[in-house]
A and B are shown apart, each in its own frame.
Chain A
Amino acid sequence: MLVLTRKKGEAIIIGQDIELMVVAVEGDQVKLGINAPKNIEIHRKEVFLTIQEENRLAAKQQFSKDILEMLMEQRNDNEINDKDMK
């Protein structure tokens, strides 16, 4: 990992098209501004990692072949109950 020290207002260029700027520093929070081509996606790392993890969890689960029917039945039951309550 390349580690650089920047002050507020200073920036970094990644490749030729991506710019990262330190917009503000408030206590232990650093506000970053990013200029990048529209096709480059930018996300908070923990969001990205959490989704990866959730996908892996979803893929690992055991479920029976009837799961779709079971899920649908429950949904239909819920709909009927909702209507009854109204």
Chain B
Amino acid sequence: MSIVQTTRFGEIEFKDDELIYFPKGVLGFEDDTNFLLIKPDQENPLAFLQSITTPELTFVVAEPFSFYQDYEFDIAESVKEELEIEEIIDVAVWSILTIPEDFHKATINLLAPIIINVNKRIARQIILNESKYSIKTLLYPQISAKGGE
């Protein structure tokens, strides 16, 4: 077991095979190449993506298909090769959430999802060519619709 220091959660223990390697880091954080996916509730499509090297770097991530059932995209061949993806079952998709003070206004980045090869534990953030998706999609569009904001 290894230990990582985190700003939000204090010390966390983890097994080395739980680490996820991001060869290119994440956009804006290219030097952070090792992350832990912390999923407190296995049933829920929400988790934290914690950097091993930077204690204060924690992303809140969500499985986009749980919030937007029609979400779809292709993974480029070059990305499949890079992540050594052989079958669709190897793939997990997580999207970064931006959470303002009022968490009801949280947004999800559907244009740049994080693709993880769960077997090989390699991942990267990709930028979709489908411009129909936005970097800031409301996680709860229903709320805005009702509140008329």
Q: Do A and B associate with each other?
A: yes
Binding site for B on A (CB under 8 A): 38-39, 41, 43, 47-48, 50-59, 61-63, 65, 67-68, 70-72, 74-75, 78, 81-82
Evaluate contact between A61 and B28: CB separation under 8 angstroms: no
Complex: how many Å from CA A51 to CA B111?
Answer: 8
Q: Beyond the given A43-B127, A74-B103, A74-B104, could you list 18 further A-B residue pairs with CB under 8 A, ordered by the A residue number?
A: A47-B111, A48-B127, A51-B109, A53-B28, A54-B96, A55-B28, A56-B29, A57-B98, A58-B96, A65-B8, A68-B46, A68-B48, A71-B62, A71-B103, A75-B66, A75-B67, A75-B139, A81-B142
Residue of B nearest to A38 (CB): B78
Evaluate contact between B111 and A71: CB separation under 8 angstroms: no
Evaluate contact between B127 and A39: CB separation under 8 angstroms: no
Known A-B contacts A50-B135, A78-B140; the reply to A55 vs B96 at CB < 8 A is: yes
Evaluate contact between B58 and A59: CB separation under 8 angstroms: yes
Known A-B contacts A50-B135, A78-B140; the reply to A63 vs B27 at CB < 8 A is: no
Evaluate contact between A41 and B77: CB separation under 8 angstroms: no
Chain B residues with CB under 8 A of A63: 60, 99, 103
Residue of A nearest to B25 (CB): A55
Evaluate contact between B143 and A78: CB separation under 8 angstroms: yes
B82 part of interface (Cβ distance < 8 Å): yes
Evaluate contact between A52 and B77: CB separation under 8 angstroms: no
One digit per residue, 1 when the CB lies within 8 angstroms of any chain A CB and 0 when it does not, for chain B 110-142 equals: 011000000000000101000000011001101
B147 part of interface (Cβ distance < 8 Å): no
Chain A residues with CB under 8 A of B47: 68
Complex: how many Å from CA A66 to CA B41?
Answer: 12
Evaluate contact between B8 and A54: CB separation under 8 angstroms: no
Complex: how many Å from CA A63 to CA B136?
Answer: 18
Evaluate contact between A58 and B60: CB separation under 8 angstroms: yes
Instruction: Identify B41's interface contact among A43, A65, A68, CB under 8 A.
Output: A68
Complex: how many Å from CA A78 to CA B27?
Answer: 31
Nearest 8 A-B pairs (CB), nearest first? A52-B28, A55-B28, A58-B98, A68-B46, A39-B78, A38-B78, A52-B27, A51-B112
